[in-house]
Amino acid sequence: MGKAVNLIKLSVGTESVEGLQAWHANKRAQTKDGLPRHVTRMWPKRAAEILNGGSIYWVIKGEVLCRQNVLRLDEVIGADGIRRCAIVLAPDIIRVSPALRRPFQGWRYLEATDAPPDLRADRTGETALPTELNRALAEIGVL
C-alpha cells in the first residue's frame, strides 16, 4: 500500500470550526447520502494517494484549525456542463494544532510530514489562541 497525501484548502467565509460544521449541515453542502462534500473545479492528479487515508485540512481565518478524512471523490457535472470533483468527507471534524497559513487559491497538496498534528482528545474543547498571539509566537519560533 502506498503513502497517503492530504489536501489543504481555505474555508472561505468561515469564521470558526463551528461555522464549518454549520455549513456541512446545509443540504447544499452534502451528497445524496448525507455526507459533507466540497466541490472543486480541478480533479486531483494524486487521487489514489488522497484516497489512501488522506484528509483535507481547513484554513480558517489564516490558521489551519481542523481536518476531515477524505472518503471518496465523486464526479459532478454542473449546470454549465463542466465536470467537477466533489471531495466527499467524513462528517467528523478533527481539530489540529493551529498552524498559520498565508492565503492561496484553490487547494494544495499537503504531505503528511508537513501536516499539523491532531489535538489530543482532552484538548479539543480548549479555546484557540487569538490569531495575533499565535502569529507572534510563530514568528519567534515558539510554535
Taking the complete model, does pTM exceed 0.85, yes or no? no
Look at residue 13 and tell me whether its pLDDT is greater than 70: yes
Please tell me the least confidently modeled range out of 27-36, 60-69, 83-92, 129-138: 129-138
Confidence tier at 65 by pLDDT (50, 70, 90): very high
Instruction: Identify the DSSP state of 114.
Output: G
Give residue 131's pLDDT.
62
Cell of 20: 464549518
Look at residue 135 and tell me whether its pLDDT is greater than 80: no
> In whole angstroms, what separates CA 33 from the centre of its chain?
20
Look at residue 67 and tell me whether its pLDDT is greater than 90: yes
Contact between 127 and 19 (Cβ < 8 Å): no
In the block, which residue shows the cell 508537513? Answer: 114
Dist CA 140 CA 55 (whole Å)? 29
Confidence tier at 121 by pLDDT (50, 70, 90): confident
